[in-house]
A and B are shown apart, each in its own frame.
Chain A
Amino acid sequence: MPLVNLKDRLALIKSDRDKKASPAPRKRIVPEGWTEIAPLVWMREIDRPFVRAPAFFSPHLMRAMPFREDRRQNRGGTGSQCADIPPVPAERIVFFDLETTGLSGGSGTIAFLSTVARFEGSDLVLRQTFLGDYPGERDFLVLVTSQLEDADWVASYNGAAFDLPLLQTRCVLNRLAMPLVRHIDVLHDCRRFWRGLAASCSLSSMENLILKKERDEDIPGALVPGVWLDYVKSDVLREEQSALMTLVWRHNVQDVVSLAELFLLVESAYRSPESAVLRYSIDPAGLARRLLRMDREEEAKGILLMVRDKAEMFELTGDARTRALRHLASIAWKARDRELYVKTILAMDDASLFGCLAKAKLYEHFLKEELSALSWARKARDIAVAGGAGEGTRASASSLSALSLEAIDHRIARLERKIAKKDNPAAL
């Protein structure tokens, strides 16, 4: 924002300038493909053949929640709460994304572009609504909210934290009712599934990593607000301004297409977890945890067992594998399934600190074989000294402290005492 220094400002504020008449909203030529629906509000429809469009979705399998301003009250709204909802015809779900004048929210940030997409047959039909200037905002919002209201479900990427609260704010300011929609934020599942894989779970990094797409022509999201603000304040549009705005429209379309693709992928993971884990490098522990919360324990166990027994089928990092086996071990522990527990621990990676320690604990407390326990504890110590502590442990402080050298030494000393006592009970 250009800020002149204070003295110039004062001079400007004080200077007497002729009072301007209120400017009439300027007319822009409606570009090809767009239709003017209301003053300053344009719409267009884009048809995109979609290869894998199924007839039904099972959004009830996913983490869904009605949108309210107060999201926290709905925390823990798991699939099981919606379990009695039947599968939804594909065309009853819409994919939604906004472009706005700022990324930080607040009541001065407005939405100027919306894309709402839905399946029609095997096509994805995108309806894009564009606001050409501030005074058209109310009409713009009426259109957008009616498109959302028209569906049973709305899917978004980060909509829970950004798009929907922003839409809500705009509705409040324009005294419109915000539709109460069932909402699925695909970002939440992406985080569970691919957090370990990508540095960030932004839509663009998911696009690259999971959908393996590259955008040929695009504008970075951070520049989008400036393009519109500049567009709206210009009396006459320069060619590059129009070109940039065209890019913004496209950017928004691409975002929604990717959102739909990610949604399909995530949804299919809930439908057939095993094959999804194999095909899309999903973190097995992340998916298993979600399944468990939906009382789909057998399926959760299934994918974890697959990780344990058919390691060669996966391209998993050691980290993801360790996490999966830890999770399986904890399921076994809670179910008091001794065999599963022992087998899982024994399957853990011999080269990882966590694996060695788990085995040391197993042998000491469960199998009562102190000598084996000691040798695993010593191995753990070697790894810890070599500095290989971290992997497999996106863990709490308490479990980290169990991995400290001090704790390992303590364990070794205890094991040595136990062995000595067993060897020579009279000595102590």
Chain B
Amino acid sequence: MNPETANAICDELASWLAAQSEIAWSTKLPARVPDLVPLPENLPPVLVQALGSRGIKALYSHQKKAYELARAGRDLVVVTPTASGKTLCYNLPVLQTLLEEPESRALYLFPTKALSQDQQSALNEVMLAGSIGLTINTYDGDTPADIRTKARTSGRIIISNPDMLHAGILPNHTKWVKFFSNLRYIVVDELHAYRGVFGSHVASVLRRLIRIAKFYGSSPIFIFSSATIANPRELAERYIEREVALVEENGAGSGEKVVFCVNPPLVDAVQGIRRSSSLEAESVMLWLLRKGVRTILFSRSRLQVELLASYLNQKLENPYNRDFGLVVKPYRSGLLPSERRAIEKGLREGNIHGVVSTNALELGIDIGGLDAAVITGYPGSIASFWQQAGRAGRTAGLSLAVYVASSAPLDQYFAAHPEYFLSRSAEQAHIDAYNPYIFTDHLKCAAFELPFAEGEAFSPDPSNVRAAQLTQEALEYLEEEGIVRHAAGRYFWSAEGYPGEKTSLRTATTENVVIVDVTQGRHDVIGEMDRPSAKELLFDKAVYIHLGTQYQVKSLDLEKRLCLVERSDVDYWTDSIVKRDIEVLSQDSTEPHGQLDLILGDILVRGQVEKYKKLRFNTNENVGYGEIWLPPEEMQTRSLMVALKPEGGAWRLLREIPPERADGILRSAADLVRQLAPARILCDIHDIGVASRVRDQFFKSPAMYFYDVYPGGTGIAEALHANLKEAMASAIERLAGCPCAGGCPSCIGVEIASAENKALALQLLRLLHGALES
């Protein structure tokens, strides 16, 4: 959009929004003037030429800074928002080194496969433009065998992901002699994606990588890049245990951005019921598209994404002008890679004008600049919100972000308190690189790769005494288990099989259900979906929408991991209802603390889809129910349980208020502990599951559960057990110090917000904390 039209459209949008719904608040983020500096002087001419052919004649200041640090041999982390030319920060020094040293190699790691493919195409573009002629190979699960061989011997830049490094490259490092002997740079992009338990795994994988590189005589420089988080430098240093330079001043320019927070109109003013935020977001997007504004709409679920894209296309349907020449596509996981590539390309090239996406497009996949982003509901973290908003306005000029608040209390709170929302800073990211479970699993893999010497620290820092001690203890344990053999000063892997096979870096099961279209004798694979989601979305008779085409499920065979679907034209969609509960399996240790017991044990977390609703398209009118017969999704895991003893102070406090309120207070206390625990036990908030019941059926008294969301557990429950008192203390501090009058998202949440409840929650936490101290 040119600036004048943009301003005009922005004003028009404001009045349109004000007329049809309610603008809770709006704000204008000022434009930033780019801080340009000349290209480095000693840049090889081919590189200068390649940059020139892409229109780059100068660098942003942060790119130059990153370049200089990397060239000086410093490890660094670059933190800048989307569209700030982040990739050049690492491509420039890496390419120059590769050009200067004909044998040198670099490794690029991305959190997902989709990203690495995108990166390869971006790099190839630079290459082709300047005919630099460096071989770049993507090496992941999809790489064909003949390319793998070539990549190992002659790939100068290998693009891969931590999972492939863990299971494919490191255990077979002797096939990569040339690569490891000449490894000069390791680029870890999207660092913020590696946090919590997943990040702890990745930390160990990087440790193994450093160890193998060292064996071949190389000590590569690390370049991390991250979206905005509160502690990028600390996080990067935890990974490689040495000083990392931080580059965070953004020298890229950007246009103004206007953010609107919109509250959907009241449908029932008496009961305070508002119009659905999805439908509201849809009409905002439709309005924008018709004004020629290229827009991305973020929605929370895959189902909503498909529904909204269909609705939009229906509304744009017009045979006389070929639908106004406008194309809208849904984008989500579960599409075929080729379909995703096509949409990304369409967005970059401008022949797709609108996209409805899950947070799948939040990561750095290059889709070019869009003009507006519509965000349906708070995406769960402030960093995500700004990432999504940043999808609009990559180029200079005015861009728009419309935050459509849902009726969820959190959204309503943000709608009412813009100052609170806008001043929130990005979340911290934590990893525990020495989580004993994860550490030991990777120690096994490392021993398989290379025997350990006595006294060796499984750490990037050879002088790390604590790591050396932990390594020694774990190796002795593995020796007792007969997994390693200790002889002549070394520990040798001494078991059959591949340890890496038994360790997965992610929770998500790799067992995907394949979706096959069998309409009229066809047999076309149209997509895939992970098993737990399949149970919720692909049950028999479910309506499944794929890229706007509507199907109905004929049969779901979980054993064969096959779902057969047929085209259908029923006028409703289906939404399953999931019931979750927790069952205590064992109590391994019970620690009495006066009025409460702290119990560590195994629990079963069960999710069962039992019923589904049929909802009419567009109106969401409920037109019927159906039963679902599928086995429950069960996970056995470790949990810390806090059970209140009858007649104790906390027990009495909860007894004296009505049950529903008591439930809310217990839950908000548990939630607050969960929110504050990650900083103590170095995990991500999403690694901890929480549940609470005032009338717990197992303990017959009020109880809280803090459990590990990884099947079998990764030590989260144990770590919290050791840190519960401190986590409670932080919760008390947060609650007592919260300046709000009667509850806010920072303390007890907004669902039970009232001054009285806030006081009760504080009282409860103090009682619990007091018991722990005794």
Contacts and interface: CB of A to CB of B under 8 A. Distances in A.
A104 interface: yes
B718 interface: yes
A106 B496 contact: no
B288 to A, nearest CB: 50
B497 A13 contact: no
B727 to A, nearest CB: 20
A28 to B, nearest CB: 13
Interface in B584-638: 588, 600, 638
Contact of A1 (B436, B483, B488): B483
Contacts of B451: 134
Interface string B442-455: 00000111110010
A9 B482 contact: no
Given A106-B171, A106-B172, A72 B436 contact: no
A229 B476 contact: no
A7 B588 contact: yes
A232 B494 contact: yes
Kindly state the interface size class of chain A when it binds its partner. Answer: 35 or more
Contact of A233 (B174, B473, B482): B482
A2 B171 contact: no
A233 B491 CA distance: 12
A77 B275 CA distance: 72
Given A1-B495, A72-B149, A106-B448, A10 B718 contact: yes
A2 B481 contact: yes
A169 B448 CA distance: 13
A72 to B, nearest CB: 5
A108 interface: yes
B483 A107 contact: no
B149 A10 contact: no
User: Considering residues B476, B638, B713, which has the most beta carbons from chain A within 10 angstroms of its beta carbon?
Assistant: B476
A225 interface: yes
Nearest to A5: B712
A302 interface: no
B487 A13 contact: no
Nearest to B488: A135
B495 A229 contact: yes
A13 B473 contact: yes
Given A13-B473, A72-B149, A229 B496 contact: yes
B174 A13 contact: no
A75 to B, nearest CB: 10
A263 to B, nearest CB: 28
Interface stretch (A17-25, A265-273, A328-336): A17-25
A133 B486 CA distance: 10
A176 to B, nearest CB: 12
Interface string B724-754: 0000000000000000000000000000000
A24 B490 CA distance: 11
B324 interface: no
Contacts of A229: 482, 494-496
A173 interface: yes
Nearest to B216: A172
A318 B440 CA distance: 58
Given A6-B712, A70-B153, A134 B492 contact: yes
B249 interface: no
Given A1-B496, A101-B496, A22 B481 contact: no
Nearest to A73: B149
A12 interface: yes
B496 A6 contact: no
A139 B702 CA distance: 66
User: Considering residues B175, B177, B436, which has the most beta carbons from chain A within 10 angstroms of its beta carbon?
Assistant: B175
B477 A12 contact: yes
B437 interface: yes
Interface in A18-43: 19-20, 22-25
Contacts of A133: 485, 487
B487 A134 contact: yes
A6 B437 contact: yes
B86 interface: no
Contact of A13 (B440, B495, B712): B440
A135 B474 CA distance: 21
B482 A2 contact: yes
Interface string A224-248: 0110010011000000000000000
A107 B496 contact: no
Given A13-B477, A23-B487, A134-B488, A108 B449 contact: yes
Given A10-B437, A19-B472, A168-B174, A134 B495 contact: no
Nearest to B439: A13
Nearest to A101: B496
Given A2-B482, A12-B480, A69-B175, A108 B493 contact: yes
A417 B405 CA distance: 73
User: Considering residues A6, A102, A173, which has the most beta carbons from chain B within 10 angstroms of its beta carbon?
Assistant: A6
A23 B484 CA distance: 13
Given A13-B436, A13-B473, A135 B715 contact: no
Contacts of B177: 172
A173 B488 contact: no
Interface string A200-229: 000000000000000000000000011001
Given A6-B437, A14-B436, A23-B486, A108 B171 contact: yes
A20 B713 CA distance: 30
B638 A6 contact: yes
A20 B476 contact: yes
A110 B495 CA distance: 10
A168 B174 CA distance: 8
Task: Give 10 closest A-B pairs by Cβ, nearest first.
Answer: A108-B448, A135-B488, A108-B493, A169-B174, A134-B492, A172-B174, A106-B171, A225-B496, A102-B496, A12-B477
Given A135-B488, A173-B174, 15 more contacts: A1-B483, A13-B473, A14-B436, A17-B473, A19-B472, A69-B175, A70-B149, A106-B172, A107-B449, A108-B448, A108-B499, A110-B492, A134-B451, A134-B488, A233-B494
10 contacts: A4-B481, A9-B437, A19-B472, A72-B149, A107-B171, A107-B448, A108-B447, A134-B485, A134-B488, A169-B174
